[in-house]
Structure 1
Amino acid sequence: MPNTTFTSPLVRWLSAIESSRYFQITVITIIIISALTIGAKTYAIPPFMEQAVTVLDWAITMFFLIEILLRLAVHPDKKRFFRDPWNLFDTVIVVGSLIPLEQAGSVLIGRLLRVFRVLRLISVVPELRFLIEALLKAIPRMGYIALLMFIIFYIYGAVGSLLFEKINPELWGDVSISMLTLFRIATFEDWTDVMYETMALHPLSWIYYLTFIFLTAFIFLNMMVGAILEVMTAETNKQALGEAKEERDNMALQLAQIQAQLTELQRSLNGVGKAERSQSND
C-alpha cells in the first residue's frame, strides 16, 4: 500500500510531463536536429566537427530512449503498449539506433535506422499520423486500381512490342521493356521523342500514345486521388463524430452534476423550511 501511494503521484507527474505541449515541441525539435546531423555526416567535415556530430548523435539516441521509457512508464496498460503500431515503430527505431557504428557488419543497418528516425515526426505530429493512417486504409482500394493499370500496361506493352519492335528494339524489344517504355511515357519523360520515332513508319501511331496517356495520366491517376480523398473524408467525418460524441457526453455529465447539485440544494431548502415551520409551530 505505501508503494502505491508513492508511485501514483510520480506517474501522474511523469504523465503531465509526457503530455505537455512543451515536451512535444522538444521531441519534434530533437527529431529535426537528428535529421540535420544525419545530413551533416554526408558531407566532408573536419574531424573535430565529425566527433561533435557523433557525440550529438548518441545524445539524441539517449534522449529518444528516455522518451520511449517515459511513454511506457505512464501508459495505463504496459502489456498493450506495444500493440499500438506507432509505439512499436518508435521502439524499433530507437532500439535499432543503439547499434554501435564501429562494428563493420552493422554499420549499414545502424545508419539506415538513424535515417529512419526522421520518420518519428509522423508518430509525434497527429496531423501527419492521420494522413498516414488514411493512406494505409486507402491501399486496398488503390490496389484494385493498380491491378487495372497493370492490365492496361500489359495490353499496351504487348501491342507496342508487336508494332514497334523493329523500329527500336531497345524500347520495344519485349513486353517487359515495352512496359518500362510506357512508364516513361506515363511520366511524360521525353515521350514525344518516342512517338515521333514510331510515327516515321506508322503515321497513325499517335493514337496509341494519346489513348494510353489519357487512360493512365488522367483517368487512373484521378481514380487514385479520388480513392485517397474518399477515405480521408470518411476518416475526417468519423473523427468529427467522435469529437462531437465526446463533447455531448461531457455536456451530459456536466448537466447531471448540475442537476445533482440542484437536487441537493432543493433538499437543503426543504429541510430549512421544515425546521422553520416546526419552530413557528412550537
Structure 2
Amino acid sequence: MSITKTFFKLKESKIFQTVVASVIITSSIIVGAGTYELDSALRQFILIADYAITIFFVVEILIRFFGEKKKINFFKDGWNIFDSIIVISSLIPTGAGTSIVVLRLLRLMRLLRIISLIPEMRFVIEALILSLRKSIYVLILIFILLYIYAVAGVILFEEIENSRFSHIGEALLALVQIMTLSSWETIMLPILDVYPSSWLFFISFVVLSSIIVLNLFVAILVDVVSEMRRDREKILSEKD
C-alpha cells in the first residue's frame, strides 16, 4: 500500500477525526486556563502542552496534504487553507508585551478548526458566506437607510442635549444600536420629552430596518440553504 493511500485512509477515519477534534477542544481549554493566575509548575505544563498540540496540528496538516492523490487539490479546498493558516499562525515565536497577547488570541482561533471537521457546521458557514454574496444589495439598502436617517436625525435633533445626534458619525452609531433593538428606548426617550412627535422617526426606522430589511437577510439565508440542500441531494442521487 502506498504512503498516499495510507495517509488518505488515516485522515478519513472516524478515529483520526475524533482525536483531532479532541485535541482542538483541549487546546482551547488550555488557552482558557492560561487566563487564570497559576503557579509556575502549571504554567510550565501549559507551555509544554501547547508545544505538543502545535506539533500535533502540524503533523495532522501534513497527513492531510500527503493523503491527497493530487497535492494541488489540497490547496483547492478552502477549509484546508483555513486550517493551514491557523496552524501556521501557531508557529509564530513568542515575544513580549503585545506580541504575547496576539499569540494567545491566535491560539484561541484553533477552536474555529472544529468547524472544518463537522460537515453540518461547514454547511452552515458556507450557507452564510453564500447568502452574504447574494445580500450585497440589501447591505447597500441598509447603508442608504442609515445615512438618510442619520442626516435627518442630525437636522432634527442636533440641538437637543445628549441626543446622540450631534453629528453624522454619532448618529450612525446610535441608529445601529436602534437597529439591533439594544436599549434603543434610551436614545428615543430623551428626544421624545422635547419633541413628542419624534416617535414617528424612531418607530419608522425600527420597522424599516429591524423588521423589514433584516428579515430580507433571513429570507435570503433560507433560500440559500434550500438551494444548497437541493444541490447536495442531487449530487448524492447521481452517485447512487
Task: Decide: shared fold, TM above 0.5.
Answer: yes
* 1:165-194 deviation digits (Å, cap 9, x = unpaired): 111355111122111111222222332233
Tell me the residue number matched to 2:122: 129
Q: Which has the higher contact order (CA 8 A, sep 6+)?
A: 2
Tell me, yes or no, if the aligned pair for 1:61 and 1:97 is still in contact at 8 Å: yes
Shift of 1:102: 4.3
Runs of 4+ with >4 A deviation: 102-106
Note if 1:53 corresponds to 2:49.
no
Amino acid at match of 1:241: K
Secondary structure in 2 matching 1:172: coil
Amino acid at match of 2:76: R
Structure having the larger proportion of residues in helix: 1
CA pair 169-232 structure 1, distance change in 2 beyond 3 A: same
Alignment: residue pair count: 240
1:235 equivalent among 217, 224, 228? 228
Alpha-carbon separation, structure 2, partners of 1:239 and 1:196: 50
Q: Where does 1:9-24 land on structure 2 (aligned, <5 Å)?
A: 9-24=2-17
Alpha-carbon separation, structure 1, partners of 2:95 and 2:71: 34
Tell me the residue number matched to 2:214: 221
Amino acid at match of 2:230: N
Alpha-carbon separation, structure 1, partners of 2:72 and 2:13: 24
Tell me, yes or no, if the aligned pair for 2:163 and 2:187 is still in contact at 8 Å: no
Instruction: Give aligned-pair identity as a percent.
Output: 34
Unaligned runs of 5+ in 2: none
Alpha-carbon separation, structure 2, partners of 1:175 and 1:49: 51
Amino acid at match of 1:161: V
Secondary structure in 2 matching 1:171: coil
Q: Where does 1:147-226 land on structure 2 (aligned, <5 Å)?
A: 147-168=140-161, 171-226=164-219
Unaligned runs of 5+ in 1: 1-7, 248-282
Tell me, yes or no, if the aligned pair for 2:92 and 2:103 is still in contact at 8 Å: yes
* 1:50-105 deviation digits (Å, cap 9, x = unpaired): 11111111111111111111111110101332222211121121122112224668
Shift of 1:144: 1.3
CA pair 220-81 structure 1, distance change in 2 beyond 3 A: same
- What is the TM-score normalised by the length of structure 1? 0.80
Cα RMSD of the aligned pairs, angstroms, is 1.7
Alpha-carbon separation, structure 2, partners of 1:21 and 1:228: 31
2:133 equivalent among 117, 137, 140? 140
